[in-house]
Amino acid sequence: MRTTNKNMRLILGSGSPRRRELLAQIGVVADEVRPPDIDETPLKSELPRPYCIRMAREKALAVPAESGDIVLSADTTVALGRRILGKPDTAAEAAEFLLAMSGRRHKVITAVALRCGDRIWEKDVVTTVKMKRLSDEELNAYLATNDWQGKAGAYGIQGPAGALIPWIQGSFTAVVGLPLAETAGLLRAAGYPLHKDMP
């Protein structure tokens, strides 16, 4: 039987402000934020979904925590076919990614891993996203915002790039960086009190 501990500490193994904001939407505030420092290089011939799942798990395992703490980590990967579109280093690389996705559908995979002691709970969500066909003017205007920096696939759907995404099938919050319904389910499974103040 699952026991719920109201004094359970939650450590967010992510430096993403978007993930903190999403957790706040379901009333969850991490007790500490400890971004993990791991090598995020894909393995040779590694496909996007297994890569994303591996990253979330490795991040959760890399965060130091006490035995009763819950560590929550996630990874968001943008995939164009078998190709992983990571975080671009330059505006030129961002432009290359955006032009590759222009007028096409791609997948956004977000994997979540929860660790408490030796136990790990995992879930991954795949969302299909369509990007409109970009004109040179739209591409250059978006690149000028610098919103592509630090974002997988060179865009964040919750920012200026939202105007470039006419259609998605799946979880909007997963595309932002954390699928809330699935994350809430994992927290409940781990015994974390989601509604501490509710009777």
**Buried b / exposed e along 103-130 (16+ C-beta atoms within 10 A):** eeebbbbbbbbbbbeeebbebbbbbebe
In whole angstroms, give the CA distance from residue 35 to residue 126: 23
Residue in this structure with the two tokens 């990614």, named with its chain if needed: 97
Q: Which residues contact 59 (CB under 8 A, 6 or more apart)?
A: 13, 14, 36, 38, 73, 74, 75, 113
The active-site residue, picked from 75, 124, 136, 197, is 75
Q: Which residues contact 184 (CB under 8 A, 6 or more apart)?
A: 26, 194
Instruction: Tell me the two tokens of residue 30.
Output: 């991490």
| Catalytic residue status for 37 | no
Catalytic (active-site) positions: 75
